[in-house]
Structure 1
Amino acid sequence: MDDRQFRNAMGKFATGVNVIATETDGEAYGMTANAFMSVSLDPKLIVISIGHQAKMLERIRQSGKFSVNVLSCEQQDVSMIFAGQKKTEEKFEFERLGDTPVVKDALCQLSCEVYNEHVEGDHVLFIGKVNDMTLADGDPLIFNCGKYRRLEEFAEAVQ
């Protein structure tokens, strides 16, 4: 199988969209990702996957902390900004959760410290210990088959 075929196969799995954020030298940075999952309830651990080529990799290693921000269906523009798909003149303004930058109005904001790190293939898996979190009501932004989606689309398709 070739790389494109494998990517297409993985794209069949619908995922939520989140922004990973961290801060180094007083500057906050973010990147759009969908490789995120919960790992453990005790202790409260999650995992994110960052490619070896991503600038975020060294930033998280340097800071030792990051946030995961689960985007709402109204935040497609935010995802596109941090995926490099949309340019903006203004600097993105992060909020704070403890000492970690977070995305305003995200459905879920998780403030984490790096608990462990595993190099696997062309990515690094960061295990994050969740230190703080916020939750909000709303529907998540979904990514499937290379497109942004909303829950309504899936509900309508099932009916």
Structure 2
Amino acid sequence: MIDSRAFRDALGCYPTGVTIVSTYAGGVALGMTVNSFASVSLEPPLVLWSIERTTHRYDLLRNAKDYAINILAHDQSAMAELCAHEANLAACGASWSGDVAPLIDGAVARLLCRQHAVHSGGDHDIIIGEVIAFDTLRPVESLLFSRGSYGKAG
């Protein structure tokens, strides 16, 4: 049997990018720090991320028809840390624009997505989104997460 803490530590040896997946609910901008983000397809443009079924933000984000994936810059680690625990983007110090989903200011890139498919994956759901618009804002290093700490690429 695999020890889940040891397995998590082993996975932490692989640096990942850091994103905040964001959506509107009841007129409030909400989000969650996510590092399980990857590209899937160029034609059509598809990306994926996953969410643990026991998280308190599961229903909100799992059922969001439209959402944004905000790829964070290296100087946004404080926001990433806050948003890992707090759903309200304003409480996390974020500013944003966008009518369909919150597009976080200062991100390296922002992908506006529409939910395309959801697949079960153990204790997580894998959410595939079709990218309907995107922009790249800042030519700076992205925020990385490895071995429990934030850093930057490059």
Q: Secondary structure at 1:75's aligned position in 2?
A: helix
**Structure 1 unaligned blocks of 5 or more:** 153-159
The corresponding residue for 2:56 is: 55
Deviates more, 1:133-142 or 1:56-65: 56-65
Separation in 2 of the partners of 1:69 and 1:39?
17
Deviates more, 1:114-123 or 1:48-57: 48-57
Write out per-residue CA displacement over residues 76-126 of structure 1, whole angstroms, 9 at most, x where no aligned residue. 1110110128xx995745423351112111001001010000111100111
Deviates more, 1:35-44 or 1:58-67: 58-67
Separation in 2 of the partners of 1:41 and 1:146?
31
Q: How does 1:18-57 map to 2 (within 5 A)?
A: 18-57=19-58
Aligned residues: 150
What is the alpha-carbon root mean square deviation over aligned residues? 2.0
The corresponding residue for 1:69 is: 70
- Normalised by the length of structure 2, the TM-score is 0.89
Separation in 2 of the partners of 1:97 and 1:48?
21
Deviates more, 1:56-65 or 1:125-134: 56-65
Deviates more, 1:75-84 or 1:49-58: 49-58
Q: How does 1:78-157 map to 2 (within 5 A)?
A: 78-84=79-85, 90=91, 92-136=93-137, 137-152=139-154
Separation in 1 of the partners of 2:27 and 2:100?
11
Answer whether contact 1:21 1:101 (CA < 8 A) is retained.
yes
Measured at CA, do residues 91 and 37 of structure 1 come closer, stay the same or move farther in structure 2, by a change above 3 Å?
Answer: closer
Measured at CA, do residues 65 and 43 of structure 1 come closer, stay the same or move farther in structure 2, by a change above 3 Å?
Answer: same
Report the identity percentage.
30
Answer whether contact 1:97 1:132 (CA < 8 A) is retained.
no
**How far off is 1:60 after superposition?**
2.6
Answer whether contact 1:24 1:62 (CA < 8 A) is retained.
no
Deviates more, 1:118-127 or 1:59-68: 59-68
Write out per-residue CA displacement over residues 25-71 of structure 1, whole angstroms, 9 at most, x where no aligned residue. 21111111100000000000000100001233211344311111111
**Structure 2 unaligned blocks of 5 or more:** none
Answer whether contact 1:67 1:101 (CA < 8 A) is retained.
yes
Separation in 2 of the partners of 1:8 and 1:143?
12
